[in-house]
Structure 1
Amino acid sequence: MTERVNNFPPLPKFMRIKPCFYQNIEEEIPAPHQQLVRRVYTLWMMYSGTLSINVISCIAWWAGGGGAINFGYSLLWLLLFSPCSYTCWYRPLYKAFRADSSFNFMAFFFMFFLQCVLSLIQTIGIPGWGTCGWMATVLFFSTNVGSAIVMLISALLFTVVTALMALVLIRVHRLYRGGGGSLSRAQEEWSTGLWKSAPVNQAGFNAVSQTAQGPSLPQYPAAVPSYPDNSQW
C-alpha cells in the first residue's frame, strides 16, 4: 500500500500546521456509495456555511438593538461546531463506508442524531443562544425590520439543513440495516479491537472463520461495504 499524505483540510504549504486527515472519495469509497458520501460532505459544508451566515445575522441583530452576547455565542458555535461536526460524524461515516465498519456506523448514528437535535434547537432560535432561528427572528420584527430580514436568511438555512440531516439519518440507517448491520456486530468489532484498524477489519473477521486455511494478507481497499442500494437517492 502506497503512503497516503494527509490532504484535509487543505492548508497553504507555508503554514506550519499540516492537514490532519486523508480524504479521497473516488479512491477509498466504493462506487455505489460515493454519491451519498459526497452529499453528506456537501451537507457538512452547508452546515458550516450556515453557521458563518449566522454570525453575520447576529451582527445585524446586534446592530438593530439586540444583545452583543448573541454575536459572541454565534462566533463560538462557528469555531466549535464546524470542525467538531467534521470529526464527530462525517469522518465516522466516511470510515464506515470505506471499510464496512459497524463500529463507525454506530458512532455516526449516535453523533449525527445529537447533531440533528442541535440543529433543530438552532432552527427554533431561542433568544440569547446565539442562533438566528425562527423564534428570535419573528420576535425581532417588531424591533427592527431590516435586521430581522437578515436574520430570516439564517432561519431558513437552519431549517433546510435540519431537514436534510433528518433525511440523511434515515437514508444511512436504512442502507445499513438493509446490508445486515447490527449493534452486535459493532460490539464484536469493539471487543476484538478491529475498529482500530478499519481498512483490514473484514480481513480480521475472515481470519477468525477461516483459521484452518492459514493467515492471508489483506490488500487495501479490498474491505469495502456491500450494502444494497434499492432506492434512488
Structure 2
Amino acid sequence: MAHPGDGGNPFAEPPDLDNPFQDPAVTQHRPSPPPQYATLDVYNPFDSHEQAAAAVATADLLRQQEELNRKAEELDRREQELRHAEALGGASPPRRNNWPPLPAFCPVQPCFFQDIAVEIPQEFQRVVTAMYYLWLCSTASLLLNFVASLAWFCVSTDRGSDFGLALLWALIFTPCSFVCWYRPMYKAFRSDSSFNFFVFFFVFFVQDAVYVLQAIGIPGWGFSGWVSALMVLKSNPPVAVLALPVALLFTGIAVLGIVLLKRIHSLYRRTGASFQKAQEEFAAGVFANPAVRTAAASAAFRGP
C-alpha cells in the first residue's frame, strides 16, 4: 500500500513514526547549527580584502613583538643593575656624572647623571626626551638671538641695551632653565615625585610666559621676536635675515612648550600624585637633612 508522500512508490520505506526525535514538535525547537568557520576550502589567498586583513594582522603582531622585546630588554637591564647592587652589598651601583658632556681635560667636571633609557620608565621616555630637545632648542634660540642682537648693534649703536640683555638672557636662562624646570621634571618621572612635579609646573608655567614674550619681541627687552624683526626689516634687511628666523624659532618653542605642559599635566594626573603627597615628600626631605635635624635637636635641648 502506497503511503502519502512516497510519490506512489510501493517499495518506499514507511516513515519512522515511532522515532520521537523526528516529531515536528521536537525538531522545531532544535538549536540552529553553529556558524561554519573559515577553512582552507573557503579561504582565497588571491582575495584583496583577505590579503589586506592578513597584512594588518601581521603588522599588529610584529608591533606587539617589538614592544615585548623592548620590555624584555628593559627588564634585563634593571635585573643586571639589581645584581650589581647585590654584589656591592646592597649599595646602589656607582654612577659617574655624565652631563654636561665635557672633555676630560676640562677643569670643570659634569654635574649630573642623566640616562633617560635607564632611569626613566619606558612609558615616560618619549615625553622626557621631547622636553630635553625643547631645552636644547631654547638654548640654541638664545644663542641665535644674541647673534642677531649683535648684528643689529653693529649697524645701529642705539641698540646697545638689546645687545646687553640678549647676552644676559643667554648666560642666565641657559643654566637656570636646566636646573629649575628640566631637572625637576626629570626627577619627577624618575621617582614619581609629587614635589618635583609641583616645582616643574610652577617654574615651567613662568618659562612658557617668557617664551611668549620672546616670540613677541618687544624692542628694548633683548629678544629678536616678531616686533623687533619687522622693525629692523624696514631699516636694515640684511639684519632682518638673522632676526626673522629667530622670531620663528621663538614662536615654535612657545607653542611646543604649551603643548608639552598640557601633555605632562595629563600624565601627572594618571600617576596618582597630589598636593598632600608633595607636602609629605617635602617634610620628609627637610627632616632627613642632617643640618635640620641638628638644629632641631639643639633647639629642643636648649628649651624655651
Q: Deviations over 1:151-178 (max 9, x none)?
A: 1111000000011000111000011012
Residue 64 of structure 1: CA displacement?
3.3
Alignment of 1:53-202 (within 5 A): 53-65=144-156, 67-193=159-285
Partner of 1:42: 133
Amino acid at match of 2:213: I
- Give 1:16 deviation, angstroms: 1.7
1:214 paired residue number: none
Residue in structure 2 matched with residue 229 of structure 1 by the alignment: none
1:170-220: per-residue Cα shift (whole Å, max 9, x none)? 0000110122222121112112228979xxxxxxxxxxxxxxxxxxxxxxx
Distance 1:166 1:100, change over 3 A: same
- Change in 2 beyond 3 A, CA 1:18/1:38: same
Residues 195 and 37 of structure 1, relative CA distance in 2, 3 Å threshold: farther
Q: Is 175-184 or 74-83 further displaced after alignment?
A: 175-184
Q: How many equivalent pairs are there? A: 197
Structure 2 regions of 5+ residues with no counterpart? 1-91, 290-304
Query: Structure 1: which amino acid aligns with 2:235?
Result: T
- Aligned-residue offset at 1:19: 0.7
Q: 1:59 to 1:196 in 2, by over 3 A?
A: farther
Contact 2:192 2:271 in 1 (8 A): no
Task: Tell me if the contact between 1:101 and 1:195 (Cα under 8 Å) persists in the aligned partners.
Answer: no
Give 3-state SS (helix, strand or coil) of 1:141's partner: helix
Identical counterparts, % of pairs: 45
State the TM-score, normalized to the length of structure 2: 0.62
Amino acid at match of 1:2: P
* 1:20 alignment partner, SS class: coil
Q: Output the CA distance in 2 between the equivalents of 1:7 and 1:84.
A: 18
Q: CA deviation at 1:67?
A: 1.0
Gaps of 5+ in 1: 198-233
Bigger Rg, structure 1 or 2: 2
Task: Please report how far the alpha carbon of residue 149 of structure 1 lies from its aligned counterpart in structure 2 after TM superposition.
Answer: 2.6
Match of 1:2 among 86, 90, 93: 93
Please report how far the alpha carbon of residue 150 of structure 1 lies from its aligned counterpart in structure 2 after TM superposition. 1.6
Structure 2 CA distance for aligned equivalents of residues 54 and 171 of structure 1: 28
Partner of 1:21: 112
Q: Is the 8 A contact 1:123 1:159 kept in 2?
A: yes
Amino acid of the structure 2 residue aligned with 1:128: G
Mapped partners of 1:42, 1:128: distance in 2:
29
